[in-house]
Amino acid sequence: MKKELTDIKTKTLCYHCGEDCDHNVIVSQDKHFCCQGCKTVYEIINKNDLCSYYDMEQAPGINQKHRIREGKFDFLDDTQIIKKLTHFQDDTHQHVIFYLPQMHCASCIWILEHLNKINPGIIKSQVNFVKKEVTVIYNYHETSLKKVAEALTLIGYEPHISLNDVSSSKVKKYDTTSIVKIGIAGFCFGNIMMLSFPEYFSLAKADEVGLKTWFSYLNLLLSLPVFFYSASEFFISGYKGLRQKFLNIDAPIALAVLITFGRSVYEILSGTGAGYLDSMSGIVFFMLIGRYFQNRTYQTISFDRDFKSYFPLGVSVIDANGIEKQISVSELKVGDRIKIHNDEIVPADAILFLGKGTIDYSFVTGESLPVEKSIGEIVYAGGKQTSGAIELEVVKEVSQSYLTQLWNNEAFKENKEEVKISFIHRISRYFTYVLFTIALSAAIYWSINDPSKIWGAVTAVLIVACPCALLLSATFTNGNMIRILNKYKLYVKNASVIEQMSEIDTIVFDKTGTITEQGKSEISFQGEGLSGEQSQLIRSLANQSNHPLSKSVVSFLPFTKMLNVKNYKEFKGFGTSATIHDHFVKMGSSDFVLGKDTNQLVSGSRVYVSIDEAFVGYFIVKNSYRQGLKNIVSSLGSQFDLKILSGDNASEEAFLKSVFGNKSEMLFEQKPEDKLNFIKGLQNNNKKILMIGDGLNDAGALKQSNVGIAISDDTNNFSPACDAVLSGKNFMLLKELINYCRRQKTIIFASFVLSILYNIVGLSIAVQGNMQPVIAAILMPISSISIVLLTTGLSSFYELNLKKSIPDQSHDQK
């Protein structure tokens, strides 16, 4: 018997959050709410005359069934913490930035920018929707940081405050250097072009009054900031490459700028010509624009988060007098007794002292089911308590915990960008060799036929054949592709990720949270069929337990009424029992219910049930896999070698074999270091690895692999250090996105061919020693603009192909 997906009764939706009110409908002012929390938030919003919040979007609020405990933000009264979180302070005002992962629509923006109506001490609040941040300016004489955080929490926007917020430096100030360089180069380029018109068109009148000479000197003056400031990064990068005996693409560009500037200075000062300062400033201007365009596209996503971003900032500590107080996690010491409430993270390795521990390690180890802990057992940092409050005694400081040791692995200290040399640099090396060969040939030829043309021919060759077209094609191609990938919710760290993704031959998947839906499961019942009374007996027993399997059973069975439960007992690792309406109900493992181990290899976890010692049947609880998984695996399997690397148990290996096939290697119960070493082993066999994971347990493998993609159902929420972040909703587009990345080289080579055609035209004139400034001034911008148009056009064309290849999502094929 399987649960029907359709519900006969009409659903009542919550006015605040839009979720189904189920059986618990709360009515207030003719409006329906799913819980007391949503009703309270509505009353606060209504009281402060902010109900326009509900007019912009239908049911825009955040579900409030799980209310925030009182005193959670007490640590924000600590002076040192306030100082570390404050971005600006004067005699009356403090500025603070909070990260709000709940932010999702226009209504959120509207209410967050009207916080002053909820807390009069708040002077101004401004939202950065892309980063999901709100900047709050408040008068700290009238309110406090704690009250600001509580005001946000009251309306459903609890700020995410982590240990990383105080252990790292303040938010980096926006670097305006690149914009200033572009602005200077653009200003000088435009004015030099304008002042060069008399030279371009040989205006005699201008020459008679000496304007050409004055214009030439003005051009030289305007070129100085371009050469010494705007172009400085090309010289620095080229010099660093040469010091390491590596010829990168910036070296020939720097050489072209240097030769152009040097020849122009010589011609202007000697009165033999006007030089090519317009070409030099144009080269620098277009190069800087290309780099800025490329770099700007991935500044809003953080790819280098570590475990501190996952840890809370504050923790409840119980002192010798039994008084609970909040302190910063960084202040925890061995021997401290801490209290961890429901759904809170354990910040340091500790011994369970009081209470029942049900620890969710899925983000740290990959194990999908929580682990039960008894008094005296160790609980490792990073686990989340899921069944009420517990008390623990710290045995290791945060800096010495298991999770910190994992993050200190050598893989996190390596810089993948230094290991991989882009094909752009390899092409530029050959380009430079050919360029010097042509220049040398021209020098030899003119030394024999007309030595007076040697200088002009050689310098003209080096000016005209600048590899700026190659760099432009790379930067604009990468910039366009990053922008388009962002549109499909694949956020790459930098351009080199696109290139490396095009070379992969092996894809390694994590299981929990990567190919499975986070927080979802599929459940079915195997048996004769349950009567209404039996369903309520089982549901009432399951409702007493905090175990995830019990919660799944509760969500599966329909609610009629809650029955009185007597003599409830829970046996760790086995099951539960109770007397309900004079019926003895047992639920748990086959050993517990049937008195024997069935030893059947099945997909998922089984929950056996008996009523009055008579076996009724069993529930099968399985992970819910992402939509279209079979189709994705089938399409990827024809191109790549697929593998599964999971920290979970092998209970669903049979199902995964049916999806991935027997050829795909599958390893289960893998620790984080096992995953990392597995990736290293594949790379030692010359495999190019794409690792796809979601949790801290995957962090080492993600960092070690050639490309690491973190799957996240909230791309602004925490994800481990990675090269790219892919929205879980677009997981089915993985193959199409990889193939799109493979188009990068095609586009760059096409634009390079176009640049070669321009170079042939320019070089045919340059080697003759007859290059005029007007010809250089025409060739340079035309070639640059045409390359920009070509790369943009091809990127968009391949995006159309990407859209056409997107699979039909009308059916849920697993």
Highest mean pLDDT among 169-173, 176-180, 696-700: 176-180
Question: How much is the pLDDT for 2?
Answer: 40
Encode pLDDT of 619-629 as tens digits.
988 878 888 88
- Under 8 Å between Cβ of 123 and 93: yes
Separation CA 437–CA 466 (nearest Å): 14
Pairing of strands 689-693, 707-712: parallel
Three-state SS at 434? helix
Encode pLDDT of 548-586 as tens digits.
788 888 888 887 777 888 888 888 778 899 999 889 999
For the ranges 25-34, 156-165, 287-296, 465-474, the lowest mean pLDDT is seen at 465-474
pLDDT grade, residue 310 (50/70/90)? Answer: low
Question: How much is the pLDDT for 170?
Answer: 47
Pairing of strands 506-509, 689-693: parallel
Question: How much is the pLDDT for 689?
Answer: 93
pLDDT above 70 for 200: no
Average pLDDT over residues 312-316: 76
Q: What is the rounded average pLDDT for all residues in the chain?
A: 78
pLDDT above 50 for 533: yes
Encode pLDDT of 57-91 as tens digits.
777 777 766 666 777 788 888 888 888 888 888 88
Question: How much is the pLDDT for 685?
Answer: 92
Separation CA 579–CA 566 (nearest Å): 5
Cα distances (Å, whole numbers) of residue 672 to 367, 484, 678: 11, 33, 10
- Nearest 5°: the CA angle 801, 802, 804 is 65
pLDDT above 70 for 715: no
Question: How much is the pLDDT for 610?
Answer: 93
Separation CA 575–CA 710 (nearest Å): 35
Residue 632 CB: number of other CB atoms within 10 A?
21
Does pTM surpass 0.85? Answer: no
Question: What residue type is assigned to position 56 of the chain?
Answer: M
Residue 221 CB: number of other CB atoms within 10 A?
12
Three-state SS at 767? coil
pLDDT above 50 for 462: yes
Tokens (6 digits) for 605: 């976890």
Question: CB pairs under 8 A, 24+ apart, for 110-115?
Answer: 110/52, 110/53, 110/56, 111/45, 111/50, 111/53, 111/155, 112/152, 112/157, 114/50, 115/148, 115/151, 115/152
Handedness of CA 196, 197, 198, 200 (dihedral sign): positive
Average pLDDT over residues 751-774: 68
* b/e sequence 58-88, b meaning 16+ C-beta within 10 Å: eebbbbbeeebeeebbebbebeebbebbbee
Could you tell me what percent of the chain has a pLDDT over 70?
78
For the ranges 279-288, 302-311, 759-768, 781-790, the lowest mean pLDDT is seen at 302-311
Question: What residue type is assigned to position 532 of the chain?
Answer: G
Separation CA 360–CA 141 (nearest Å): 41
Higher pLDDT, 18 or 227: 227
Separation CA 692–CA 724 (nearest Å): 10
- Under 8 Å between Cβ of 406 and 699: yes
Higher pLDDT, 101 or 714: 101
pLDDT above 70 for 348: yes
For the ranges 60-69, 300-309, 332-341, 762-771, the lowest mean pLDDT is seen at 300-309
Question: How much is the pLDDT for 678?
Answer: 92
Higher pLDDT, 209 or 160: 160
pLDDT above 60 for 647: yes
Cα distances (Å, whole numbers) of residue 706 to 101, 354, 700: 29, 45, 12
- Under 8 Å between Cβ of 448 and 494: no
Question: How much is the pLDDT for 22?
Answer: 67
Question: What residue type is assigned to position 676 of the chain?
Answer: L
Encode pLDDT of 132-159 as tens digits.
788 899 998 999 998 898 888 888 888 8
Tokens (6 digits) for 420: 């991989």
Question: How much is the pLDDT for 507?
Answer: 93
Q: At what angle do helices 743-766 and 454-464 cross, to 10 degrees?
A: 160
For the ranges 200-214, 242-256, 428-442, the lowest mean pLDDT is seen at 200-214
Alpha-carbon torsion angle 104, 105, 108, 110, nearest 10 = 150
Residue 125 CB: number of other CB atoms within 10 A?
22
Question: How much is the pLDDT for 273?
Answer: 77
pLDDT above 60 for 463: yes
pLDDT above 90 for 514: no
pLDDT grade, residue 4 (50/70/90)? Answer: very low
Separation CA 47–CA 609 (nearest Å): 50
Handedness of CA 513, 516, 520, 523 (dihedral sign): negative
- Under 8 Å between Cβ of 382 and 697: no
pLDDT grade, residue 422 (50/70/90)? Answer: low
Separation CA 487–CA 480 (nearest Å): 11
pLDDT grade, residue 419 (50/70/90)? Answer: very low
Question: What residue type is assigned to position 356 of the chain?
Answer: K
Question: How much is the pLDDT for 155?
Answer: 82
pLDDT grade, residue 748 (50/70/90)? Answer: confident
Question: How much is the pLDDT for 188?
Answer: 92
CA nearest neighbour of 798 among 475, 481, 491? 481
Average pLDDT over residues 675-682: 90
Tokens (6 digits) for 470: 């190659």
Q: How would you class 171 by CB atoms within 10 Å of its CB: exposed for 0-12, middle for 13-18, buried for 19 or more?
A: exposed
pLDDT grade, residue 12 (50/70/90)? Answer: confident
3 state SS for 166-203: HHCCCCCCCCCHHHHHHHHHHHHHHHHHHHCHHHHCCC
Question: How much is the pLDDT for 781?
Answer: 65
- Under 8 Å between Cβ of 711 and 514: yes
- Under 8 Å between Cβ of 430 and 252: no
CA nearest neighbour of 425 among 521, 530, 496? 496
